[in-house]
C-alpha cells in the first residue's frame, strides 16, 4: 500500500514536471527551433553528413 | 478483433504520421505548422511524408546547438508521454516497430538470443541514449562550437529508411553527394532489416534510445499491466507469448514490456489486464472471478 502511494506521488511529480517543461519550452519559443530543424532536410539523419 | 486491433492502429498511425503524400512525389518535406510538434514514436522528420518532428532528432539537435539550451520543450514532451503511457508507444504507435514486426512474420526459423547475452545487450540502448543522443552532442564540439547529433548521423536506421532512401531516389541533386556515411548507415539498416526476420524487434530491444527513455518511466506510467494474483495459475502462457522476453506474471511493469497486450490475450484465466491511473476496466477479471466463485458454490 505504501509502495503504491509512493509510486503514485512520483507519477504525479513527473507528470507535473513533464507538462511544466513542455509549456515553459513552448512559451520560450523552443517549438520554433524544432520547427526550423524539422522542415529542412536533415543531412545527418539521411546519411549525407 | 482484439488480435488485429493493435495492427490496425499501428498501420493507421504510420499512415497518419506520414500523410504528406505529395512529398513522396516531389522529394520535398512538409513545412506546415504540425512540424512544431513531436510524434511520440521513432519517425524521421526528413521523411518526405512526415507531418511531425522526431523527438530523438529534436532532442539531439537542441543539445548540439551552439548556445547549449536546456531542451525544455522536447524533454517535457518525452517525460509527459513516458509518464502517461510508457512503452505503450513502442507497441502501438511506432512505425519502425511495425516494420520490424512484419519482417518477423516472414516464415523462417527464429533465433532466440541466450538469456545472458540478451540481458547484457539490452543495456546497449541506454548507452546509445546516454552517449550518442545526450553526451556526445552536448560535449563534443567542432571549431565553430556546434555539436553533432551523433545518433542520427551514425546509427539511426529510421532516418536512412524513411528519409535517406526516398530523398536520394527522388532528388538528382543529392545523389552525387553519397559517400561512406550513407553506405555505413545503409549497412546498419540492412543489418536491422535482416536481423528483424530472425529476432523479434531487435532494434527496439537493443538499440532504440526512445524506447530506453520511455522505459525509465515504465514503473510510474499511468498505463500499466496488472496481474490478478488470485486468478493467475502461473501456467507461463504469457511468458511464452511475449516477444520481448518478459515474464508478465512476475514483472508486469518490466522496462522491456512494450504493452502490446499479447499476454492479456493468451492468458487462459484473464488474469492480466491493463489499468489506467490505477483503474482496471476489470470486466474480464471480474467475470473470471465470478465464474470461479460460482464453481465453488
- Asked whether residue B56 falls in the same domain as residue B119, the answer is yes
pLDDT tens digits for range B242-279: 999 999 999 999 999 999 999 999 999 999 999 998 88
Grid cell in block for residue B174: 543529392
Residue B175 banded pLDDT, cuts 50, 70, 90:
confident
Chain B interface test: which of A26, A28, A34, A37 (most B C-beta within 10 Å): A34
- Average pLDDT for B110-135: 95
Could you tell me where the beta strands, DSSP code E, fall in B173-284? 223-227, 272-276
- Asked whether residue B144 falls in the same domain as residue B285, the answer is no
Query: How many structural domains compose chain B?
Result: 2
Residue B68 banded pLDDT, cuts 50, 70, 90:
confident
Kind and range of the H or E run holding A27: helix A2-27
Are A45 and B84 an interchain contact pair (Cβ–Cβ within 8 Å)? no
Lowest-confidence segment of A12-16, B128-132, B271-275, B282-286 by average pLDDT: B282-286
Chain A residues touching B66 at Cβ < 8 A:
none
Identify which of B151, B243, B146 has the alpha carbon closest to the alpha carbon of residue B199: B243
- Show which of B173, B192, B215 is a domain's final residue: B215
What is the percentage of chain B residues whose pLDDT exceeds 90? 84
- Asked whether residue B132 falls in the same domain as residue B230, the answer is no
Chain A interface test: which of B45, B161, B280 (most A C-beta within 10 Å): B45
What pLDDT is attached to residue B292?
42
pLDDT tens digits for range B142-165: 888 889 999 999 999 999 999 999
Grid cell in block for residue B240: 511464452
Residue B2 banded pLDDT, cuts 50, 70, 90:
low
Name residues whose C-beta falls within 8 Å of residue B195's C-beta, 6 or more positions apart in sequence.
Answer: B202
What pLDDT is attached to residue B294?
39
What one-character DSSP code corresponds to residue B128?
A: I
- Asked whether residue B207 falls in the same domain as residue B232, the answer is no
- Asked whether residue B99 falls in the same domain as residue B80, the answer is yes
Radius of gyration of chain A (CA): 18
Could you tell me the residue range of the domain that residue B249 belongs to?
222-296
Lowest-confidence segment of B69-78, B91-100, B284-293 by average pLDDT: B284-293
Of B58, B79, B160, which is closest to A21 when you measure between CB atoms?
A: B79
- Average pLDDT for A12-37: 96
- Average pLDDT for A22-40: 95
Are A35 and B160 an interchain contact pair (Cβ–Cβ within 8 Å)? no
Q: Is A16 on the interface with B (CB under 8 A)?
A: no
- Asked whether residue B157 falls in the same domain as residue B268, the answer is no
Are B44 and A39 an interchain contact pair (Cβ–Cβ within 8 Å)? no
Query: Is the pLDDT confidence value at B210 over 70?
Result: yes
Of B30, B76, B177, which is closest to A22 when you measure between CB atoms?
A: B76
What one-character DSSP code corresponds to residue B20?
A: -
Name residues whose C-beta falls within 8 Å of residue A28's C-beta, 6 or more positions apart in sequence.
Answer: B72, B73
Grid cell in block for residue A20: 511544466
- Asked whether residue B173 falls in the same domain as residue B289, the answer is no
Work out the number of other CB atoms within 10 angstroms of the CB of residue B83. 24
Q: How far is A34 from chain B (nearest CA, A)?
A: 6
Are B76 and A46 an interchain contact pair (Cβ–Cβ within 8 Å)? no
Query: Is the pLDDT confidence value at A47 over 70?
Result: yes
pLDDT tens digits for range B190-199: 999 999 999 9
CA B11-B193-B237 angle, to 5 degrees, is 65
Grid cell in block for residue B21: 503524400
Residue B285 banded pLDDT, cuts 50, 70, 90:
very low
Residue B286 banded pLDDT, cuts 50, 70, 90:
very low
- Asked whether residue B23 falls in the same domain as residue B155, the answer is yes
- Show which of B199, B215, B231 is a domain's final residue: B215
Asked if B40 contacts B55 with a C-beta cutoff of 8 angstroms, the reply is: yes
Structural domain boundaries of chain A? 2-46
CATH code (residue B239): 3.30.70
What is the percentage of chain B residues whose pLDDT exceeds 70? 94
Asked if B249 contacts B122 with a C-beta cutoff of 8 angstroms, the reply is: no
Query: Is the pLDDT confidence value at B234 over 80?
Result: yes
Q: How far is B109 from chain A (nearest CA, A)?
A: 32
Chain A residues touching B153 at Cβ < 8 A:
44-45, 47, 49
- Asked whether residue B111 falls in the same domain as residue B153, the answer is yes
Amino acid at each position: 500500500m505504501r509502495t503504491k502511494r509512493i509510486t503514485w506521488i512520483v507519477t504525479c511529480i513527473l507528470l507535473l514536471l513533464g507538462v511544466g517543461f513542455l509549456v515553459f519550452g513552448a512559451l520560450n519559443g523552443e517549438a520554433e527551433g524544432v520547427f526550423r530543424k524539422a522542415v529542412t532536410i536533415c543531412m545527418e539523419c539521411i546519411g549525407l553528413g | 478483433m482484439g488480435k488485429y486491433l493493435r495492427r490496425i492502429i499501428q498501420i493507421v498511425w504510420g499512415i497518419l504520421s506520414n500523410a504528406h503524400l505529395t512529398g513522396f512525389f516531389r522529394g520535398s518535406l512538409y513545412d506546415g505548422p504540425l512540424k512544431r510538434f513531436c510524434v511520440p514514436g521513432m519517425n524521421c522528420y526528413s521523411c518526405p511524408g512526415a507531418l511531425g518532428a522526431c523527438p530523438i532528432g529534436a532532442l539531439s539537435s537542441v543539445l548540439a546547438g551552439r548556445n547549449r539550451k536546456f531542451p525544455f520543450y522536447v524533454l517535457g514532451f518525452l517525460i509527459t508521454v513516458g509518464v502517461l503511457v510508457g512503452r505503450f508507444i513502442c507497441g502501438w504507435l511506432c512505425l519502425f516497430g511495425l516494420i520490424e514486426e512484419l519482417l518477423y512474420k516472414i516464415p523462417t526459423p527464429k533465433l532466440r538470443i541466450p538469456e545472458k547475452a540478451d540481458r547484457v545487450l539490452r543495456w546497449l540502448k541506454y548507452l546509445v541514449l546516454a552517449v550518442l543522443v545526450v553526451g556526445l552532442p552536448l560535449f563534443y564540439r567542432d571549431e565553430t562550437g556546434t555539436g553533432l547529433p551523433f545518433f542520427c548521423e551514425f546509427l539511426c536506421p529510421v532516418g536512412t529508411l524513411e528519409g535517406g532512401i526516398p530523398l536520394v531516389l527522388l532528388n538528382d541533386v543529392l545523389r552525387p553527394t553519397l559517400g561512406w556515411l550513407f553506405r555505413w548507415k545503409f549497412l546498419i539498416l540492412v543489418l536491422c532489416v535482416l536481423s528483424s526476420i530472425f529476432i523479434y524487434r531487435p532494434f527496439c530491444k537493443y538499440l532504440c534510445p526512445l524506447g530506453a527513455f520511455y522505459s525509465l518511466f515504465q514503473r510510474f506510467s499511468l498505463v500499466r499491466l496488472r496481474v490478478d494474483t488470485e486468478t493467475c495459475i502461473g501456467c507461463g502462457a504469457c511468458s511464452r507469448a511475449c516477444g520481448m522476453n518478459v515474464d508478465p506474471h512476475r514483472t508486469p511493469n518490466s522496462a522491456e514490456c512494450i504493452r502490446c497486450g499479447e499476454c492479456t490475450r493468451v492468458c487462459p484465466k484473464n488474469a492480466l489486464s491493463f489499468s489506467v491511473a490505477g483503474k482496471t476496466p476489470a470486466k474480464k477479471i471480474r467475470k473470471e472471478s465470478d465464474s470461479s466463485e460460482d464453481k465453488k458454490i
